[in-house]
Amino acid sequence: MDDPGPTEWNQSTGVGPWVGDPPDDPRYDPDLLRDGDTRNVVDAYRYWTREAIVADIDTRRHPLHIAIENFGNDANIGAVVRTANAFAVDTVHIIGRRRWNRRGAMVTDRYQRLRHHDTTGELLAFAADAGLSVVAVDNIPGAARIEDAELPHACLMIFGQEGPGITADAKGGAALTVSIAQFGSTRSINAAVAAGIAMHRWIAQHADISKAW
Ligand SMILES: C[S@@+](CC[C@H](N)C(=O)[O-])C[C@H]1O[C@@H](n2cnc3c(N)ncnc32)[C@H](O)[C@@H]1O
């Protein structure tokens, strides 16, 4: 049998109280050492405080930012945040409404940098200041195929909402617009699924896979 991997699905019930002398390391949380740790974290972070986990991910975040337009309260944002966390994305930007349904995030939002912008214009100004190249992701006329595109290293990807898709402001402000090839009857993919595919294209092109869990 293979050794257990580092991820939650190998130890979905977590770990019990620490056995033996507790480690003398400030990254460990005394309450978790005493009571056990059933959080949705990889095994490498078992018993660590949330602050220690965030600080560790912060040393390894990718120069990839994700933005999602939230003018109509999109239910996909939680899933986008969870996937962004899995890929150690720098920041998830939410444009428009501040409220979003955290359920799909499965508590990953506690470990992910999140930032709000009132308008797409505000987000574009942030991207310009931060030296990020903006990539709009939608299946609209003129989009290049993401399967063929070279994605920028310092990159901010913008996704639209169910229904209207990406705004004219987002498309107008993007250096590149890309679409994901489809072959069936549906007009489009769920926005969170599209975000996962697009993030993984960036990971395949730019991440150091030897450093993945
Ligand atoms: C459900 S789509 C809606 C808009 C879509 N343009 C349409 O024609 O109905 C919501 C968002 O998911 C993403 N998306 C869905 N399918 C996509 C695809 N094939 N290529 C790129 N992005 C896609 C885009 O960010 C889009 O704004």
Using CB distances shorter than 6 Å, the residues near ligand 1 are 137-140, 159-162, 165-166, 179-180, 182, 187-189, 191, 194
Shared domain check, 83 and 24: no
Which of 57, 88, 106 represents a domain boundary (last residue)? Answer: 57
Asked if the model's pLDDT at residue 192 lies above 90, the reply is yes
Residues 119 and 188 in one domain: yes
Report the nearest-CA residue for atom 4 of ligand 1.
Answer: 165
Phi, psi (degrees; rounded to nearest 5) at 171: -65, -45
**pTM given for the model:** 0.92
Number of structural domains (the chain) is 2
Same domain, 47 and 68: no
Indicate if 104 and 45 belong to the same structural domain. no
Residue nearest to atom 24 of ligand 1 (CA): 138
Co-location of 123 and 149 in the same domain? yes
**Domain assignment present for 152:** yes
Task: Write out pLDDT tens, residues 99-126.
Answer: 888 888 888 999 999 999 999 999 999 9
What are the φ and ψ backbone dihedral angles of 70, each rounded to 5 degrees?
-130, 55
Residues 79 and 51 in one domain: no
On whether residue 7 sits in a domain, the answer given is no
pLDDT digit string, tens, across residues 17-61: 999 999 999 999 999 999 999 998 999 999 999 999 999 999 999
**Does 3 reside within a domain?**
no
Tell me which of 188, 201, 202 to substitute to probe ligand 1's pocket, judged by most ligand atoms within 8 Å of the beta carbon: 188
Q: Six-digit token pair at 209?
A: 């896979």
Q: What is d(CA 48, CA 32) in angstroms, rounded to the nearest whole number? A: 8
134 and 109: one domain? yes
- Same domain for 174 and 118: yes
19: phi > 0 → left, psi -120 to 50 → alpha, else beta; which?
beta
- Using CA of residue 202, residue 205, residue 211, residue 213, what is the dihedral sign? positive
Both 109 and 155 in a single domain? Answer: yes
Does 201 fall in a domain? yes
**51-67 tens-digit pLDDT:** 999 999 999 999 999 99
Spatial separation of the C-alpha atoms in residues 40 and 14, rounded to whole Å:
8
Nearest atom, ligand 1, residue 136 CA: 25
Domain that holds residue 46: 16-57
Residues with Cβ within 8 Å of 100's Cβ and at least 6 positions away in sequence, in order, are 70, 73, 74, 77, 78, 94
Pair 49, 138 in one domain: no
- Residue whose CA lies nearest to ligand 1 atom number 25: 159
CA of residue 114 to ligand 1 center, whole Å: 22
Atom 12 in ligand 1: which residue has the minimum CA distance? 191
Contact call for residues 100 and 73 (beta carbons, < 8 A): yes
Q: Please report, for the domain that includes residue 91, its CATH number.
A: 3.40.1280.10
